[in-house]
Amino acid sequence: MIVEGEKYEVEIVDLGSSGEGIGKAEGMTIFVNDGIPGDFVLVEITQLKKNYAKGRLIKILSPSKARRKPPCQHAEECGGCSLQAIDYEGQLALKEKWVKDSLTRIGGVVSPKVNDIVGMENPWRYRNKVQFSLSGINSSEKRYRSYKIGFYKSMSHEVADCESCLLQALPVEYISRAIREYITETGITVYDEKTKKGMLRHVVIKTAFGTGQIMVVLVSTERRLPDVRRLIDKIQGALEKVQDEVGQKIRGYSFESLILNINKQINGPTVGKENITLAGKTTIKDSLMGMDFEISPLSFYQVNPVQTEKLYEKVREYAALTGEETVIDLYCGVGTIGLLLAQDAKRVIGIETVKAAVIDANRNATINGIVNAEYICGKAEDELPKLLGQGVQSDVIILDPPRAGCEPALLKAAATAGPQRIIYVSCDPATLARDVKILTEFGYRFIEAQPVDMFPHTGHVETVVLMSRVNK
């Protein structure tokens, strides 16, 4: 019987969704922070529940063959890269296992066909978007003011102060330093979650890998920033500095857009709905798979362009278009998937709840000379039945929902539309498997899955699933 406060020897056999090691002692499941599969560890039980316990790693008795020293100096404190202590081959094997296990255990798929996961040749500096959280302790006396810029620690809202991140594009580190200097020199207050006071809350930096264009978004509780010219000069200087220090190793980057996002909500989303353009353009432009895309502050765009091309090629393969099909792209974002499929389809219709993303998607269709694609703003579960009522026939439906997966009403609407194929793009194996099971109950059959490592060193994996209609 497990006793709280006692120590036990535990073999770590799996990882949880937050990167915690999973093992067993005396028949009970134990969750252990910092443990990785293959480790044999000594654990002190810190919390005892009815069906599981949590433990603190006291000592690694025998390390996993996949264990390594994390390359990032902030890995132990930052909660962003939960898999950095595992070598990359070990990470890929673990993620592929997660997909198979979820489809079997949650989705009810017997012996699912899961292709070998697609990894990266160089799994560093791959992110084109960073979202820094800020945390401040504010005082009327400037010498007592302090702040942190970084990422949340694991399972908390406490910010780990991170001066560097090996997953972000290199210019991001230089811009981050410039923003730190701006905060210090202007005395602008940083939001404190405890007191609910302060001005700056988050910093979002978007880097278009295909063009080098950069957008900086400052999330604030106020509609004005002090000394904006100083901030612009510092960001410009940061980009000149990275070019001077790194030289020919990187392509040219250009600072194209400075946006102030207003978010006064105490509890709610990271960014607000209102954007004020302080300098430059309202959007930046990127190129992907031979097409151009405009990206606005609030629109969704895949964060790993190298792996995105591999992911979308698999979507194109699964769609198997002949030029006669109508494709309905749900959760379409700025329209990337639908527009890439439009050249092989008769018609593409995208549905998205974020108005700015729909504007971007329609503009992207115009930019690329695509006349057979249109985009609608609204909830897919509401708009899809309207299209069916107008006589629209769907041959292929693309589902690319957020991590929480699809609402049951949407899955029912998609199945009712009766497409021959449903292609589901997911960033969470558990919600993917749950939705696969629901679609199976609505008359669709799981064909195969293709995992793609879009997020190296983190506990996330992207998967494309092909499902085929069994009956109308």
Q: Where in the chain are the domains?
A: 1-66, 91-121+304-469, 129-288
Confidence bin at 461 (pLDDT 50/70/90): very high
Which residues have C-beta within 8 Å of that of residue 78, sequence separation ≥ 6?
72, 150, 151, 153, 160, 162, 165
Q: How far is CA 408 from CA 104, 394, 428, in A?
A: 20, 19, 16
CA 439 to chain centroid, in Å, comes to: 24
Nearest-angstrom CA–CA distance, 411 and 430: 16
The answer regarding whether domain 91-121+304-469 maps to CATH 3.40.140.10 reads no
Distances (CA, A) of 334 to 158, 262, 356: 32, 22, 9
pLDDT-derived band at 300, boundaries 50, 70, 90: confident
- Give, in order, the Cα–Cα distances in Å from 184 to each of 148, 347, 384: 12, 53, 50
- 227's tokens: 């000394």
Quote the mean pLDDT of the chain: 92
Say what the pLDDT of residue 19 is: 78
pLDDT at 111: 97
109-145: pLDDT as tens digits? 999 999 999 999 999 999 999 999 999 865 554 444 5
Joined tokens for residue 337 = 């998937």
pLDDT over threshold 70, residue 254 = yes
pLDDT single digits (tens) 140-163 = 544 445 899 999 987 788 999 999
Q: What is the mean pLDDT of residues 220-241?
A: 95
What pLDDT shows up at residue 193? 85
How high is the pLDDT of residue 101?
96
Q: Which residue has the higher pLDDT, 318 or 355?
A: 318
Average pLDDT over residues 448-463: 96
Place of tokens 């612009």: 232
Q: Which fold has domain 1-66?
A: OB fold (Dihydrolipoamide Acetyltransferase, E2P) (2.40.50)
| Cβ atoms of residues 178 and 238 within 8 Å | yes
- Are the beta carbons of 268 and 96 closer than 8 angstroms? no
If one counts every other C-beta atom within 10 angstroms of the C-beta of residue 216, the result is 26
Q: Which residues are catalytic?
A: 427
In this prediction, residues 89-105 reach a mean pLDDT of 96
pLDDT of residue 247: 58
pLDDT at 250: 56
Provide the β-strand partners of residue 465: 424, 449
Cβ neighbour number for residue 19 with a 10 Å cutoff? 22
CB 117 within 8 A of CB 160: no
CATH topology agreement for domains 91-121+304-469 and 129-288: no
Span 396-422, average pLDDT = 95
CA dihedral angle for residue 471, residue 389, residue 337, residue 396, rounded to 10 degrees:
20
Q: How confident is the model at residue 269 (pLDDT cuts 50, 70, 90)?
A: confident
Would you say residue 319 has pLDDT above 90?
yes
pLDDT tens string 427-451? 999 999 999 999 999 999 999 999 9
What angle (nearest 5°) sits at the alpha carbon of residue 19, between those of residues 165 and 310? 65
What CATH number labels 129-288?
2.40.50.1070
Count H helices and E strands in the chain, helices first. Answer: 9, 21
| Sign, CA torsion 391/397/401/406 | positive
pLDDT cut 70: percent of the chain above it: 96
